[in-house]
A and B are shown apart, each in its own frame.
Chain A
Amino acid sequence: MNAILQPHQHFNKVDFKPKDYKDEKTPSFWCAGCGHYGVLTGLLRALAELGVDPNHLVSVSGIGCSSRLPYFVNSYKMHTLHGRAGPVATGVHLARPDLAVVVSGGDGDGFSIGGGHMPHLARKNINITYILMDNHVYGLTKGQCSPTSREEMKAAVTPYGGMEEPLDPILYMLTYGATFVGQAFAGNAKLGAKLIKEGMEHKGFAFINLLSQCPSFNDLDTAVSFRNSCDEVDPTHDISDRNAAMQVVNAAKQAGRIPTGLLYRSERPALHERMAELVKRVGGHKDYDLKKIIDLARP
């Protein structure tokens, strides 16, 4: 009675290969050489390693190139609105905390139009895994600056060059209180898979930034430049120390480098656990007699 539901109950349920998690019904959508293929590869591997039952997996996205990802995953899925994948996924998860919920989306989707939702996913410790497919550009609208674009990027709406400082999703998520923060180059599907798997096992909000090249609209951040800029975090880094994680990021930025791997992880109750405790505290159950509530309105 009143056991707090967790997605883990649906792990180790099937013996699937990564390709068994691939939904082949939708034709390929991304350009040749797109980093998002690497994200998908990493995700499918992670799902296979977890052995998660596809019937209890929900893949949620917003709008953008990256947000097409759920179409290629063998699961229940929602392709929602620009910037809204986070709160939609929150609704799915809180309504059915037993489901494994994975969000995927781009840097514009997550940190521009959807930027107002990110703090709340993190601080509330919503038990979902959020994969940011960060290519530093708006691709589906054919090349405009995103909030993570380099300042010098010349793009469709910034023909004379950009004028804005890019934001760092990792620093934001650390500050917002995410309890699992990791980063990888999308082309490193092995590391991507590891982070996604651990993120899905993590109880609470897991944020994974996967740097993904856009060969069509961003020639400043290529597969080669991403790969050559990434340094996996030192094994001695204390992942339970949030300040240390921030220092790692800041130091790397100053050196023009990108820190990858698991940067931060901590434990605190997830929102659905607190809600389950509340229901328990008030003696709640679905057959609770409504008349007891109606009686309170007697004059």
Chain B
Amino acid sequence: MQGITKNDLIIRIGGEGGEGVISVGDFITQACARAGLDVYTFKTFPAEIKGGYAMYQVRASTERLYNQGDTFDVLCAFNGEAYNMNRASLKPGTTIVYDSPSDFTPDIPPGVHAYPIPMTQTAKEMNNLRAKNMVAMGALSVLFNIPVEALREVIVTKFSRKGEDVVKGNLAALERGRELAAALKKTDTWTLGTPKSKNEVIVMSGNNAIGLGALIAGLDFFSAYPITPATEVAIYVAKHLPKRGGTLIQAEDEIASISQVLGASYAGKKAMTSTSGPGLALMGEMLGMAFMAELPCVVVDVQRGGPSTGLPTKHEQSDLFMAVHGGHGDAGRIVLSVESIQDCIDLTVVAFNLAEKYQCPVLLLSDGSLAFSTQNVPYPDPANYKLVERERWNGEGEYQRYKFTESGISPMADPGTPGGLHIATGLEHNESGLPSYTSTNHEAMQDKRFRKLKNVVNDVDPTEVDGDGAADLGVIAWGSTIGVVREALQRLRAEGYKVKGFYPKLLNPLPAQQFEDFGASCKRLLLPEVNFQGQLAHFVRAETSLRPQSYTICGGMPFTPEMIVNKVKEILA
């Protein structure tokens, strides 16, 4: 297997939903992270509630990981469906660990290493059928050197609430699985490396990390409406916001959510909501009001496959057009997009800071792949984050809510401020907030509102350049595709290719000059993104002189590093 080292192992666990597939994935992830390995997980689950094929993939490595990898090295199949679903990916050199005897007998392709483990049978013998997954995990730990001490610790931690008997039963099943695997002859070469060091880390999914970022940013108010794949942001916040004295409400629809957020913002609080494409579409009118009435708010869009109801549980990066322009009447907003779990924390804080400073809606784009992926990130110290509060009126002179200023930013007055009475309105208004439809006023007010946004690029690290000097090809990527491109470029450079990467995190206002500068250092440009129309490529062509070649997929899955490597090689051939 070209390009894959023994230090970088991808284990895919597949089975029936409810069989413990997710638990095994979680336990291995937690144990590897605890032992000091880097982890990056990827899950798929059926859109239906009961049954169906569930898959959890853990990539663990002694090196920094940026994505879920190309494919698996090891398949752990709990049932026949898991085997059948992944049969085509069992390439020579890969390994399958499977339940045997059971309801299926895999036909092992040539060159594939196979380890039959009596998972169900052993669990039955132990009178603990639910511990089938622990038997499997024990076997995997021996076969691939998964840190077993950490596994045992995780089992104790996770099951201690359920009582000592449950802990003992699971530990016993783990040990039995280890004995079973130890009796087999190892024929493959896959094995996890030893971690270099043990760092202070946390392991989070993208959705939870956005929730944490919001708490760090000083979130006061969250309005939720359930939607896949964004609901977990609300679930996380619902659990923890009350501890900070904040307020979470589940609204009757997404329109109510964004309305409540703007009400809370007017009342002087840091407020947000999270949704996916269909919900963002419903919020469009109110986001226009947020721009017009200059109310800070943060809206997270965890993108999913569209259009319409589309592929609710699948990955896509297809809401960029809507995020930037999805509203009537010439309204602006700030649009950020996250690459990684680290970004989910950090850029959520940035989103709040920008909303507060510029008194406008800030949209944060995540995606279906990041939503449920977990990664380890260094333990975040809240004290290290700089927090911004909206500029508030100092009480001097006569208050004018929409006073013309050089920056376009006019101080706000929270309700309760003596002398600060004013109206927040979606009608065009004068400096006092009173209706004014004159052409000079409207032009001046539009200029004021858009003038604010010109400085955003100076306030954030809008882009990152990966690589130095001149390149034969530059790859521009956004969202979680960036992590895929990072690894692809590493592999290409190792083969002698002169390639660079360009990773914008601020997508509106588009940092055009940074794009131009990058483009000037590359002979050709490639822009891979997971949508049909090539949405970022469209904006780049519209707002810069660059003409990147678009590379789009929309099959419900993210790019793999191998796909990018192959495309670059094809272009440079």
Binding site for B on A (CB under 8 A): 25-26, 54-56, 58, 60, 70-71, 74-81, 84, 86-96, 98-99, 116-117, 119-120, 271, 275, 278-279, 282-286, 288, 290-294, 297-299
- Pair A117/B212 contact, Cβ less than 8 Å: no
For chain B residues 198-256, which have a beta carbon within 8 Å of chain A? 201-204, 208, 212, 215-216, 220-221, 223, 240, 242-247, 249, 251-253, 255-256
A96 CA to B267 CA in the complex, in Å? 6
Q: How far is A87 from B257 in the complex, measured between Cα atoms in Å?
A: 8
Shortest Cβ distance from residue B351 to the other chain A in the assembled complex, whole angstroms: 18
Q: With a CB–CB cut-off of 8 A, which chain A residues contact B558? A: none
Extra A-B contacts (8), CB below 8 Å, given A92-B266, A96-B269, A99-B267: A25-B434, A91-B264, A91-B265, A117-B256, A286-B244, A298-B379, A299-B33, A299-B34
Contact with A along B417-451 (1 / 0, CB 8 A): 11011111111000010110000000000000000
Q: Given A25-B432, A87-B255, A91-B221, A79 and B426 touching (CB < 8 A)?
A: yes
Chain B residue at smallest Cβ distance from A71:
B423
A116–B251 CA distance with the chains assembled, in angstroms: 11
Q: What is the minimal beta-carbon distance from B332 to any residue of chain A, in angstroms?
A: 18
Is B259 in contact with A92, judged by CB distance below 8 angstroms?
no
Residues of A within 8 A of B29 (CB): 299
A-B contact list, 14 entries, CB within 8 Å: A26-B434, A75-B421, A77-B424, A78-B424, A79-B425, A86-B256, A87-B252, A92-B263, A92-B267, A94-B247, A116-B252, A290-B216, A294-B382, A298-B203
Known A75-B421, A94-B260: A84·B245 in contact at CB below 8 Å? no
- Asked whether A284 lies within 8 Å of B242 as measured between CB atoms, the reply is yes
Q: Which residue numbers of B lie inside 8 Å of A, CB to CB?
A: 29-31, 33-34, 150, 154, 201-204, 208, 212, 215-216, 220-221, 223, 240, 242-247, 249, 251-253, 255-257, 259-269, 271, 285-286, 289, 293, 376, 379-380, 382, 415-418, 420-427, 432, 434-435
Q: Is the CB of B379 within 8 A of A294?
A: yes
Residues on A with beta carbons closer than 8 Å to the beta carbon of B286: 81, 84
Residue on A with the closest CB to B35? A299
A11 to B271, CA, bound (A): 28
Which of A70, A80, A279, A290 lies in contact with B215, CB distance below 8 A? A290
What are the residues of chain A within 8 A of B255 when measuring CB–CB? 84, 87
Closest to A70 in B: B423
Q: B260's contact among A90, A119, A282, by CB below 8 Å, is which?
A: A90
Q: Are A275 and B247 in contact (CB under 8 A)?
A: yes
Residues of chain A lying within 8 A (CB to CB) of residue B285? 81
B356 to chain A, nearest CB (A): 15
Expressed in whole angstroms, the Cα–Cα distance for A88 and B425 within the complex equals: 12
**Residue of B268, B376, B379, B421 with highest tally of chain A CB at under 10 A:** B421
B202, B242, B293: most-surrounded residue (chain A CB, <10 A): B242
Contact of A80 with B259 in the complex, beta carbons under 8 Å: yes
Report the Cα distance A116→B34, complex, angstroms. 48
Given known pairs A58-B415, A294-B380, A299-B33, the reply for A283 and B243 (CB within 8 Å) is: yes
Q: Separation in Å of the A128 CB from the closest CB of chain B?
A: 10
Q: Which residue of A lies closest to B422 (CB)?
A: A76
With A and B bound together, what is the CA distance between A139 and B18 in angstroms?
57
Contact: A91 with B261, CB < 8 Å?
yes
How many angstroms between the C-alpha atoms of A61 and B260 in the bound complex?
13
- Top 8 nearest A-B pairs (CB, nearest first) are A91-B263, A91-B260, A95-B264, A87-B259, A297-B202, A299-B33, A87-B256, A95-B267
- With most chain B CB atoms within 10 A of its CB, the pick from A91, A116, A285 is A91
Residues from chain B with Cβ under 8 Å of A95 in the complex: 220-221, 247, 263-265, 267-269, 271
Known contacts: A94-B249, A299-B30. The answer to whether A89 contacts B208 by CB under 8 A is no
State A75–B420 Cα separation when bound (angstroms): 9
Q: A80 touches which one: B415, B422, B426 (CB < 8 A)?
A: B426
Is A79's CB under 8 angstroms from B423's CB? yes
Q: Is B426 within 8 A of A81, CB to CB? A: yes
Residues of B within 8 A of A275 (CB): 242, 247, 249
**Once the chains bind, are B271 and A293 in contact (CB under 8 Å)?**
no
- Specify which of A56, A71, A75, A76 lies most central, judged by the most chain B CB atoms within 10 Å of its CB: A76
A88–B379 touching, CB < 8 Å: no
Q: Kindly list chain A residues whose C-beta atoms are within 8 Å of the C-beta of B427.
A: 79
**Contacts of B154 on A, CB cut-off 8 Å?**
299
